[in-house]
């Protein structure tokens, strides 16, 4: 174990960083302008006099609440369901998750006895660390959150199976591949157990947010078990809803969101969605088809993203390694995909690191964001988002992070703490 530098040295190093007048942002998983440029071309599509769908429909007019058949066909392999069990909506898969929950609260889902809002109390299982916007949906609608620890194979299934027996537990969040923020991909065994487990609520739903299905950072391709198939085989065909979007494939602010599930769930969802709107923006769907063309088109685009993203992730992990490598003051993920690096710092230090970083002009996601209600009881986890800044900025930001972690750890040790991450 390498000793960490003396407090005074770190304070001097920190002051020097402050003097550099940086203005960096690693708060959110936003694509960089260079990534958005990969979809240049989309902005001039479909082009004039091109508005016919494959079925001959005029994409400019009303209708078609399920989305274009050709888009559903293109993304069927990504979602793991046939086109007829897919819905393509407007931008933001978060919006589709929101709507699913809202319909469940106000109408109830297939297999349920009543609307979820008519239950005394309902709860969701929340793998932790997890995605703050998932937690915010639960919080705003008064859905209790039960944290479930993450392991390298996904959520701790002993905990999940135990908690799911509670009939108040109506749902569970999952980012099954390159999990936000830890980067884990659920193992086959985890998916099988999720698909087969007994639940206290007959209308339990698994919100399978496969946001990073295509977002690899290496040449490896994890084989995520098809959760819809697993649930059907496990006797719970209506359990899982798979969500995905092109927000980090084409354009973050102008992509397509989609979901897939069982026939009964899709029928139920469309009945409600058809009350909400006469249909999604089909012209944007046509635009995407013209631009992406086919699976090869998507793959080429994702290779482009990888070439831009992988060096940024490497810059962070290498810089952290150089400064913190053998000190025991931090531990971090080296993800093979997705948008985040999870950084673990000594207990009680995460909030301090964010504050110190802000003092050097680096905005980090608030400590606690990885936990329900924004509260990390041990104040030790941080989510780093290296996608948006330039490579040079990411390198500078990682230097700042490393220095702030060392300084916070040294301060903590000075105050009687261990200044080390738990073994």
Binding residues for its own copies, rule: CB under 8 A, are 28, 30-31, 33, 36, 39-41, 43-51, 58-64, 90-92, 94-95, 98-99, 102, 105-107, 117, 133, 136-137, 140-141, 247, 251-254, 272, 275-284
For its own copies, give the closer residue by CB, 185 or 265: 265
Label residue 246 exposed, middle or buried (CB < 10 Å: 0-12, 13-18, 19+). buried
Phi, psi at 154, each rounded to 5° = 115, -165
Minimum CB–partner distance for residue 165 and its own copies (Å): 27
Between 52 and 162, name the residue whose CB sits nearer to its own copies: 52
Q: Measured from the CB of residue 107, what is the shortest distance to its own copies in angstroms?
A: 7
Please, what is the minimum distance in Å from the beta carbon of residue 356 to its own copies?
A: 26
Q: How far is the CB of 137 from its own copies (least distance, A)?
A: 6
DSSP type of residue 148: E
CA distances for 41 relative to 38, 86, 246, 288, angstroms: 8, 26, 15, 10
Nearer to its own copies, 101 or 315 (CB): 101
| Helix, strand, coil share (%) of the chain residues, nearest 5 | 40, 15, 45
- Sign, CA dihedral 313-316-318-320, equals negative
In angstroms, the Cα distances linking 370 to 159, 185, 353 are 19, 17, 15
Q: How far apart are CA 308 and CA 328, in angstroms?
A: 30
Residue with smaller CB distance to its own copies, 279 or 359: 279
Measured between alpha carbons, how far is 312 from 339 in angstroms, rounded to an integer? 10
Least gap, CB of 243 to its own copies (angstroms): 13
Q: Whole-number minimum distance, CB 279 to its own copies, in Å?
A: 6
Q: Output the six-digit token pair for 405.
A: 């972690």
Nearer to its own copies, 140 or 390 (CB): 140
Nearest CB to its own copies, comparing residues 49 and 235: 49
């Amino acid at each position: 174990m390498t000793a960490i530098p003396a407090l005074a040295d770190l304070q001097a190093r920190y002051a020097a960083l402050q003097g550099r007048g940086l203005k960096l942002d690693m708060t959110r998983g936003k694509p960089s302008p260079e990534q958005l440029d990969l979809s240049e071309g989309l902005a001039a599509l479909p082009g004039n006099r091109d508005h016919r769908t494959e079925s001959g429909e005029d994409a400019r007019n009303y209708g078609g609440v399920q989305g274009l058949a050709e888009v559903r066909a293109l993304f069927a392999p990504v979602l793991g369901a046939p086109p007829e069990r897919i819905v393509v909506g407007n931008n933001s898969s978060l919006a589709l998750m929101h709507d699913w929950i809202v319909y469940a609260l106000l109408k109830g889902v297939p297999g349920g006895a009543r609307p979820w809002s008519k239950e005394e109390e309902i709860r969701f299982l929340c793998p932790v660390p997890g995605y703050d916007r998932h937690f915010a949906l639960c919080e705003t609608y008064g859905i209790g959150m039960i944290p479930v620890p993450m392991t390298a194979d996904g959520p701790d299934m002993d905990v999940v199976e135990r908690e799911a027996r509670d009939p108040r537990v109506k749902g569970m969040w999952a980012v099954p591949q390159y999990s936000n923020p830890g980067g884990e991909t659920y193992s086959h065994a985890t998916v099988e157990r999720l698909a087969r487990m007994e639940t206290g609520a007959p209308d339990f739903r698994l919100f399978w947010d496969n946001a990073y299905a295509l977002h690899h950072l290496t040449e490896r391709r994890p084989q995520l078990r098809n959760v819809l198939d697993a649930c059907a085989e496990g006797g719970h065909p209506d359990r899982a809803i798979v969500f995905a979007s092109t927000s980090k494939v084409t354009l973050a602010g102008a992509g397509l969101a989609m979901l897939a599930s069982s026939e009964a769930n899709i029928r139920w969802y469309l009945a409600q969605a058809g009350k909400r709107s006469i249909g999604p923006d089909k012209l944007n769907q046509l635009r995407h088809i013209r631009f992406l063309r086919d699976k090869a088109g998507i793959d080429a685009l994702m290779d482009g993203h990888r070439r831009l993203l992988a060096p940024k992730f490497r810059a962070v992990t290498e810089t952290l390694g150089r400064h913190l490598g053998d000190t025991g003051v931090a531990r971090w993920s080296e993800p093979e995909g997705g948008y985040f690096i999870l950084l673990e710092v000594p207990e009680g230090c995460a909030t301090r690191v964010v504050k110190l970083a802000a003092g050097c002009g680096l905005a980090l996601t608030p400590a606690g964001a990885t936990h329900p209600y924004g509260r990390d009881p041990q104040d030790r986890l941080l989510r780093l988002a290296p996608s948006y800044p330039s490579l040079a900025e990411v390198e500078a930001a990682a230097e700042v992070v490393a220095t702030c972690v060392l300084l916070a750890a040294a301060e903590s040790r000075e105050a009687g703490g261990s200044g080390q991450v738990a073994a």
